[in-house]
């Protein structure tokens, strides 16, 4: 790539990074004119554009004749009379193309041990699991919860569900028993797939024991079976009649399995994510439209080619692990890395060592990981990427939160060797795949900007009334037309789906992303300015402030009231700050520290360690308006340590501002 400011930098002008001629020449979408042609194609014949992509990217059992059905908006349908199977597209189709011997997954365990599986063997494994699930009575439309860490078994379990038309719901292995229980209850899952333990950072952590606890908390009587994969081999409790070892269930099964051909709208999976109320929402995705966009974005945004070694470092418990591990790369017959461990074990050079070892060509990670690895490299030169041979890399990606220009530059220089484009991909659990992103062989890059909409995604910035705002002026990010991989509904709560994403106040016309954005006056490039709702982004993980508040007040022996806000944090992007009123006199010093610890442990138990507040502040009261509304803006200023400029004259008890000044 070469950087340029076309004619020399002028005041306020941003530096642009252009892809090298060599990259452009080999790119699938080559040059801005190719990008613009695709955008024009989508503008002039929207459904024709998507129908073409759907035929190119996916093999259909029954070809669709309808493209987009808007008759029951905002419950849109795509390719509705077509039938297909996602696992067929990710496996059988690759075998038919002669890719049976090609490595599908290079699995690197926490301790560095490597296991490879080719497409033929992965197909056989998935078929056996699918047959095993069928033998337990799992049928099309049944839900299966998967609570497992990064593994070939995890990916195979997802594909096995898809094969028989069961709807999977993967729950991140870091969630607590309570959070797992809530999700099992909401999905009414018939089967839970888990492992004895997970191994991360040299530590063995329980999975099966947490499933046992979750099921004991009540509300999970839909669960008939728990299937347990052996990972640690250490003993776990097995409940007679309910729990079975995965190996015993699949061992004798046939290695072929007729796929269940499902309608395009059949729910492929549910994935829970945080919204602005206390209860996480089960985002429901389709099979057809989702798979089309998963494959298409993998092909175009990552410029994926047959010889690439693709590595997305996300966990399958998040949407990124669904679209860019389980489905997108597999649908294209790619070779990819699946990594069990953490970036800092055995030390903070783990990613660089793995890129060198496996000759990774495309690397996709989160800004929070990059920032923590920058910090580590600054204090210990031996883990700096310059000590490793990263010359195999040709493309880098970023996802999950805005990437600050300093981290972008470091990633570009020290990881990408000033040679690799960086695709800063903006999207959400609800969008299913990339919606605003550079295409690496076309789009000139600006650090900190996710650049331009993916062709066919009608993204725009509008004001509160839904009117377009001029470039250079901030506003609300919307998508004006439905697209194939969009959320279909919130599982069991269509009203909430409408209210959250197509609110009446907004005309009910556009998809509301929940983020603010601004387009550059000159380039039209998008920069995401952050959530406009009560959702925090901590290390790329979405957390609802209300969710954490509910967890805190659930500690009824101690907590009277709680309010949670975010504040900027150098490493994690945002940090969680909790303001707590206790049911006992205001604590100070060691006592306050001890209670803060107790509350953090409690939140870890209620939701998971990722939801632990970084700061806890105690007050005899929370600052409220006369009408009794918590003054959240004021809390945000306190959390940031800013001087308070808001009007506090209406405060009932101004002394609490001093109390809240102390963080524990």
How many beta carbons lie within 10 A of that of residue 284, not counting itself? 23
DSSP 355-374: HHHHT-SEEEE-HHHHHHHH
- Least distance CB 90 / ligand 6R9 (angstroms): 20
Dihedral sign computed on CA atoms, order 640, 644, 646, 651: positive
450 contacts ligand 6R9 (rule: CB under 6 A): yes
Does the annotation flag 429 for ligand binding?
A: yes
Query: Which CB sits closer to ligand 6R9, 100 or 516?
Result: 516
Does the annotation flag 531 for ligand binding?
A: yes
424 contacts ligand 6R9 (rule: CB under 6 A): yes
Query: Which CB sits closer to ligand 6R9, 198 or 431?
Result: 431
Query: Which CB sits closer to ligand 6R9, 335 or 537?
Result: 537
Residue 597 has which token pair?
């610890």
d(CA 581, CA 578): 10
To the nearest 10 degrees (0 to 180), the angle between helices 46-57 and 32-44 is: 120
Does the annotation flag 539 for ligand binding?
A: yes
Query: Which CB sits closer to ligand 6R9, 94 or 286?
Result: 286
**Contact residues for 21 (Cβ-Cβ < 8 A; gap 6+):** none
Interaction pattern, residues 571-610, with ligand 6R9; x per rule: CB under 6 A = ----------------------------------------
The single residue among 187, 365, 425, 443 that binds ligand 6R9, judged by CB under 6 A, is 425
Q: How far is CA 604 from the centre of its chain?
A: 20
Helix then strand then coil, in percent of the chain rounded to 5, is: 35, 25, 45
Does the annotation flag 60 for ligand binding?
A: no
Does the annotation flag 426 for ligand binding?
A: yes
399 contacts ligand 6R9 (rule: CB under 6 A): yes
Residue 404 has which token pair?
């600050």
Does the annotation flag 636 for ligand binding?
A: no
The single residue among 182, 196, 212, 401 that binds ligand 6R9, judged by CB under 6 A, is 401
d(CA 489, CA 492): 8
Does the annotation flag 523 for ligand binding?
A: no
Does the annotation flag 542 for ligand binding?
A: yes
Helix, strand, or coil here: 204? strand
d(CA 512, CA 478): 5
276 contacts ligand 6R9 (rule: CB under 6 A): no
547 contacts ligand 6R9 (rule: CB under 6 A): no
Query: Which CB sits closer to ligand 6R9, 220 or 528?
Result: 528
Query: Could you give phi then psi for residue 571, rounded to 5 degrees?
Result: -95, -45
373 contacts ligand 6R9 (rule: CB under 6 A): no
Helix, strand, or coil here: 295? helix
Does the annotation flag 519 for ligand binding?
A: no
**Contact residues for 103 (Cβ-Cβ < 8 A; gap 6+):** 116, 117, 118, 335
Q: Under the phi-then-psi rule, with left for phi > 0, alpha for psi from -120 to 50, and beta for the rest, what region is 215?
A: alpha
**Among 22-30, 247-255, 420-428, 604-612, the segment contacting ligand 6R9 (CB under 6 A):** 420-428
**How far is CA 660 from each of CA 554, 637, 652, rounded to the nearest angstrom?**
21, 11, 15
**Among 325-333, 394-402, 591-599, 635-643, the segment contacting ligand 6R9 (CB under 6 A):** 394-402
Q: Which of residues 284-343 bind ligand 6R9 (CB under 6 A)?
A: 318-320
Does the annotation flag 448 for ligand binding?
A: no
446 contacts ligand 6R9 (rule: CB under 6 A): no
282 contacts ligand 6R9 (rule: CB under 6 A): no
Does the annotation flag 559 for ligand binding?
A: yes
84 contacts ligand 6R9 (rule: CB under 6 A): no
- Least distance CB 228 / ligand 6R9 (angstroms): 28
Asked if 59 and 93 count as a contact pair (C-beta separation under 8 A), the reply is yes
Helices (H) and strands (E) in the chain, counts: 21, 32
- Least distance CB 424 / ligand 6R9 (angstroms): 5
Query: Which CB sits closer to ligand 6R9, 92 or 182?
Result: 182
**Among 21-29, 67-75, 101-109, 419-427, the segment contacting ligand 6R9 (CB under 6 A):** 419-427
Query: Which CB sits closer to ligand 6R9, 317 or 333?
Result: 317
DSSP 375-425: HHHHH-GGGSGGGS--TT--EEEEESSPPPHHHHHHIIIIITTTTS-EEEE
- Least distance CB 538 / ligand 6R9 (angstroms): 11
281 contacts ligand 6R9 (rule: CB under 6 A): no
Query: Which CB sits closer to ligand 6R9, 538 or 634?
Result: 538
**Among 4-12, 135-143, 418-426, 558-566, the segment contacting ligand 6R9 (CB under 6 A):** 418-426
Dihedral sign computed on CA atoms, order 134, 137, 142, 143: negative
426 contacts ligand 6R9 (rule: CB under 6 A): yes
The single residue among 128, 187, 297, 429 that binds ligand 6R9, judged by CB under 6 A, is 429
Q: How far is CA 188 from the centre of its chain?
A: 23
Give the largest Cα separation in the chain, rounded. 74
Asked if 393 and 415 count as a contact pair (C-beta separation under 8 A), the reply is yes
How many beta carbons lie within 10 A of that of residue 324, not counting itself? 27
**Which residue number is nearest to ligand 6R9 in terms of Cβ?**
429
| Residue among 423, 448, 377, 373 at smallest CA distance from 35 | 423
Is 522 buried (19+), middle (13-18) or exposed (0-12) by CB count in 10 A?
exposed
* Count of positions on this chain that bind ligand 6R9 (CB under 6 A): 22
Annotated binding residues for Mg(2+), as ranges? 553, 559
Annotated binding residues for ATP, as ranges? 400-402, 424-429, 515, 531, 542
Annotated binding residues for CoA, as ranges? 200-203, 320, 539
Q: Which residues bind ligand 6R9 (CB under 6 A)?
A: 273, 318-320, 399-402, 424-429, 450, 513-515, 528, 531, 537, 542
């Amino acid at each position: 790539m070469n950087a340029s400011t076309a004619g020399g930098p002028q005041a306020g002008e941003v530096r642009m990074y252009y892809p090298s001629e060599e990259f452009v020449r080999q790119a699938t979408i080559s040059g801005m004119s190719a990008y613009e042609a695709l955008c024009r194609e989508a503008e002039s014949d929207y459904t024709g554009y998507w129908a073409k992509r759907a035929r190119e990217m996916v093999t259909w059992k029954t070809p669709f004749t309808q493209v987009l059905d808007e008759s029951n908006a905002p419950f849109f349908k795509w390719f509705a009379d077509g039938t297909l199977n996602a696992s067929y597209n990710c496996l059988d189709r690759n075998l038919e193309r002669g890719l049976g011997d090609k490595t599908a997954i290079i699995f690197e365990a926490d301790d560095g041990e490597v296991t490879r599986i080719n497409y033929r063997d992965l197909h056989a494994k998935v078929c056996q699991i699918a047959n095993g699930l069928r033998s337990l009575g799992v049928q099309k439309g049944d839900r299966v919860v998967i609570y497992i860490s990064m593994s070939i078994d995890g990916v195979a379990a997802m594909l096995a569900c898809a094969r028989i038309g069961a709807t999977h719901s993967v729950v991140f292995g870091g969630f607590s028993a309570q959070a797992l229980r809530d999700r099992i209850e909401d999905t009414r899952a018939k089967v839970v797939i888990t492992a004895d333990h997970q191994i991360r950072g040299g530590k063995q952590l329980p999975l099966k024991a947490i499933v046992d606890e979750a099921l004991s908390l009540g509300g999970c009587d839909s669960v008939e079976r728990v299937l347990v994969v052996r990972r640690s081999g250490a003993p776990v409790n097995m409940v007679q009649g309910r729990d079975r070892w995965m190996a015993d269930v699949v061992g004798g099964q046939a290695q072929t399995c007729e796929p269940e051909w499902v309608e395009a709208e059949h729910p492929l999976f549910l994935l829970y994510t945080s919204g602005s109320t206390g209860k996480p929402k089960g985002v429901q995705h389709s099979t057809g439209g989702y798979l089309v966009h998963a494959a298409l974005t993998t092909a175009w945004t990552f410029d994926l080619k047959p010889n690439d070694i693709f590595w997305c470092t996300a966990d399958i418990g998040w949407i990124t692990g669904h679209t860019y591990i389980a489905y997108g790369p597999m649908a294209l017959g790619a070779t990819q890395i699946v990594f069990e461990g953490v970036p800092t074990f055995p030390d903070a050079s783990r990613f660089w060592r793995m890129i060198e070892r496996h000759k990774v060509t495309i690397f996709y990670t989160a800004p929070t990981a990059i920032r923590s690895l920058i910090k580590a490299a600054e204090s210990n030169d031996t883990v700096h990427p310059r000590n490793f041979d990263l010359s195999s890399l040709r493309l880098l990606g970023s996802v999950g939160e805005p990437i600050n220009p300093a981290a972008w530059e470091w990633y570009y220089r020290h990881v990408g060797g000033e040679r690799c484009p960086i695709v800063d991909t903006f999207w959400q659990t609800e969008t299913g795949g990339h919606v605003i992103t550079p295409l690496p062989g076309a789009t000139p890059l600006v650090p900190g900007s996710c650049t331009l909409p993916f062709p066919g995604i009608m993204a725009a910035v509008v004001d509160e009334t839904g009117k377009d705002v001029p470039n250079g002026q901030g506003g609300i990010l919307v998508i004006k037309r439905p697209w194939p991989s969009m959320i279909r509904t919130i599982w069991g709560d269509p009203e909430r789906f409408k209210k959250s994403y197509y609110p009446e106040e907004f005309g009910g016309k556009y998809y509301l992303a929940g983020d603010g954005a601004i387009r550059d006056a000159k380039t039209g490039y998008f920069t995401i300015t952050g959530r406009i709702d009560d959702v925090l982004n901590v290390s790329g993980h979405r957390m609802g402030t209300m969710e954490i508040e509910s967890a805190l007040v659930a500690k009824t022996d101690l907590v009277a009231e709680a309010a949670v806000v975010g504040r900027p944090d150098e490493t994690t992007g945002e940090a969680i700050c909790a303001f707590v009123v206790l049911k006992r006199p205001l604590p100070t010093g060691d006592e306050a520290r001890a209670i803060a610890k107790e509350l953090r442990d409690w939140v870890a138990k209620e939701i998971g360690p990722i939801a632990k507040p970084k700061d806890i502040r105690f007050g005899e009261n929370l600052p409220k308006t006369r009408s009794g509304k918590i003054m959240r803006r004021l809390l945000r200023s306190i959390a940031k340590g800013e001087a308070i400029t808001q009007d506090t004259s209406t405060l009932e008890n101004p002394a609490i501002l001093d109390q809240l000044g102390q963080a524990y």
